[in-house]
Amino acid sequence: MSSTTNATNGQWFPPEWPDRIRALAAGELTPPAPRAAATVLLLRDGVGGPDVYMLRRRASMAFAGGAYAYPGGSVDPRDRGEVAWAGPTREEWARRLGLGEDATAAQAVVCAAVRETFEEAGVLLAGPAADTVVADTTGADWEADRAALVARELSFADFLGRRGLVLRSDLLGGWARWITPEFESRRYDTWFFVAALPAGQRTRNASTEADRTVWIRPQDAAGGYDRGELLMMPPTIATLRDLAPYGTAAEVLSAAATRDLTPVLARAELVDGQLVLSWPGHEEFTKRIAEGGEDA
């Protein structure tokens, strides 16, 4: 395989995957442990239903270069520190996220979701009190703090504390959980959240990892993927398709409470001389790779 898309759609598929899958099966590859991560499907009401905010990763990025994704990233160890908190308790979030009783790990994942949304989109899910949200995050002082967060010169807890803000965990809804396949060199255990754009706030391309951002109807983004025009990883297109039935951002947030957060992990098998790569419960992503490395 010589490209990162297949012939009929925009499914991200690195050319090195078949060799890595065979090496894993032969015991020649040790899977790296996945890093905890969080990403947010930021929504706003548009014509005919909610729009979702997406960014295109720079082609030069080592992981998923050129693919459309949502704001997100890895947990910072300091996301586990003391932080002003509103909404469901950390213990409730631990149970919701499938983390058992590990309230500290749950806080870190939720903090990462809120922090990364601010770092990459300039949107902050926090307010001066448990029932308020910051109305404006523009200006030189906000940008200085955002840059310090990105550079890891400032922890998210210190950022909130300095500004007297409370993290609004109630503005997030758990939507899905995907784990990067074992044969990938960079692995993430990623929780996908949904959130509505707070009134008064505006998105901006604040990420050095993205060369384009767009507000788009999920159906339109999925159509671009189906035509091979928009490159996406399986979790991205799967979560996009899940948004299609909803008429408003509020409906999406309400539906999040009953979403199944069982992790999705790709499976690779050797069947009749072909490599069969599949994501359980998501048959559209199944790929069959012949011995020579081409799509079967």
- pLDDT one-digit tens code per residue, 85-106: 999 999 999 999 999 999 999 9
Beta bridge partners of 270: 275
Query: What predicted TM-score, i.e. pTM, was given to this entire model?
Result: 0.90
Give residue 294's pLDDT: 52
Eight-state DSSP code of residue 8:
S
Residue type, 101: E
Nearest to 180 by CA among 20, 33, 14, 77: 33
Give residue 274's pLDDT: 79
> What ranges make up the beta strands (E) of 64-107?
68-69, 72-74, 85-86
Structure tokens at 100: 């058992």
Give residue 3's pLDDT: 38
Give residue 6's pLDDT: 44
Three-class SS state of 32: coil
Give residue 244's pLDDT: 92
Determine whether 29 is exposed, middle or buried from the number of CB atoms within 10 Å of its CB (0-12, 13-18, 19+): middle
Instruction: Please list the ranges in the chain whose pLDDT falls under 70.
Output: 1-8, 58-65, 207, 291-296
- pLDDT one-digit tens code per residue, 173-184: 999 999 988 888
Give residue 159's pLDDT: 96
Q: Which residue has the tokens 């384009």?
A: 212
| CA atoms 3, 66, 183, 181: torsion sign | negative
Structure tokens at 108: 């870190």
Give residue 198's pLDDT: 96
Give residue 1's pLDDT: 28
Eight-state DSSP code of residue 80:
G
Q: What's the CA angle centered on 149, arms 144 and 154, to 5 degrees?
A: 95
Eight-state DSSP code of residue 79:
G
Gap between the Cα atoms of 269 and 248, Å rounded: 40
What domains lie within the chain, and their CATH numbers?
31-261 (3.90.79.10)
Treating both helix axes as pointing N-terminal to C-terminal, what angle do 103-121 and 140-150 enclose, rounded to 10 degrees? 130
Give residue 143's pLDDT: 92
The answer to whether the CB of 39 falls within 8 A of the CB of 193 is: yes
List, as one string, the DSSP characters of 240-283: HHHHTT-SSHHHHHHHHTT---PPEE-EEEEETTEEEEEETTEE
Q: What contacts 4, CB < 8 A, 6 or more positions away?
A: 12, 13, 14, 15, 66, 231
The answer to whether the CB of 168 falls within 8 A of the CB of 127 is: yes
H-helix or E-strand containing 161? helix 156-163
Phi, psi angle pair for 159, to nearest 5°: -60, -50
Determine whether 38 is exposed, middle or buried from the number of CB atoms within 10 Å of its CB (0-12, 13-18, 19+): buried
Q: What contacts 190, CB < 8 A, 6 or more positions away?
A: 37, 38, 39, 72, 177, 178, 179, 180, 235
